Amino acid sequence: MNPSSAENIPETAVGTVPAKPPTRRKKSCSFRIQPPLIVAAAVLAVSVLFFACWGLFANKSIKGTWTLHFLVGEQDCSVSYSFEEDGTCYFHNGGYLRKGTYQLTNDDKGNLLTMTFLHFSDFNTPAVTHQFRYTVEGTAFSTRKIICTDISGMIFAPDTLGQEDDESVAQKKASADYVETDGYRYYMYTLHEDKNYTIPLKPIEGATQDKDLLGVWMKTYEDASYDHTYAFYDDNTLQITYRDSIYKGCYTAKDGECIFNIAQVDGTFANYPMTYTFDTDGALTITVDEVPIEYTKTDRPDAFDTGIK
């Protein structure tokens, strides 16, 4: 049946003009943004803009690697410090790294940076602590730098200058600025941000490789809470760890003789010879300066990972 036929029209509608069916209002192509959405979008935009500006102009974080340049005689030298988010720090001196911890605090005189290194000289010495007052200068458009005043480890009376070694004196003279109080000089240093820092390596020309050496070899000291490891890699790099120290460089090995090449503080490289033998039980004995030490192979992938290549 045709739904538009007369039979389907109510009796009250017969003889009258059929009522015009109701029509729906056409939807507009435009739509209205609700006020809460406008507010949320504005807050988000302001937040993004704020953090962008902070990162470009007001970032005072010391996370990353910072380098101090100085002279020993006429030789350019440098040392670096790396700071990680978890409170770990590293002191870099050529191919040598020392692992430590750091804290950032404030007092009525400003910002304080405190670095603590355990067993600093590897001879059961107590922890060494360095404390600096510091400010961070610069923006993303220029090299950022830390201006720091050493108020702990590099304090000395002017009349004792001749009693200190050349490198120590050179570091103190790295900047002409200092604060003098009660006859003592607190030297100020400028550490420059070094975003492209890498551990300096110099491949040994004609280097050879002993496949039996590859891997990580460990000596565990039962009376101490640390291991001593040699990690030989197939790219002819060698990483040696001892307590909180790490030495990284290049090596060549053949017929029981090995040479370890490592960067020095002045940018040069030095070779250190060692010999090695394999025991019948698979252990490795490495002799350095006529002192043999036996190591066993471990599945541990590395000693400790600095996060710095």
Instruction: Report the b/e string of 180-219 with b at 16+ CB within 10 A.
Output: eeeeebbbbbbbbbbeebebbbeebeeeebbeebebbbbb
3-state secondary structure of 237: strand
- Per-residue pLDDT of 208-222, as tens digits, reads 999 999 999 998 877
- From residue 296, how far is each of 89, 241, 279, 290 by CA, in Å? 29, 15, 10, 19
- Per-residue pLDDT of 34-86, as tens digits, reads 566 655 555 555 454 444 444 444 568 999 999 988 777 777 888 899 999 99
pLDDT for 171 equals: 58
Of 135, 167, 193, the residue that ends a domain is 193
CA 166 and chain centroid, separation: 29
Q: What is the value of pTM for the model shown?
A: 0.69
Q: Are 126 and 176 within one domain?
A: yes
**Cβ atoms of residues 283 and 294 within 8 Å:** yes
Note whether residue 203 is domain-resident: no
Vertex 220: Cα angle to 219 and 224 (nearest 5): 135
Q: Are 68 and 174 within one domain?
A: yes
Q: Looking at residue 152, which CATH number applies to its domain?
A: 2.40.128
The whole domain housing 287 covers: 211-298
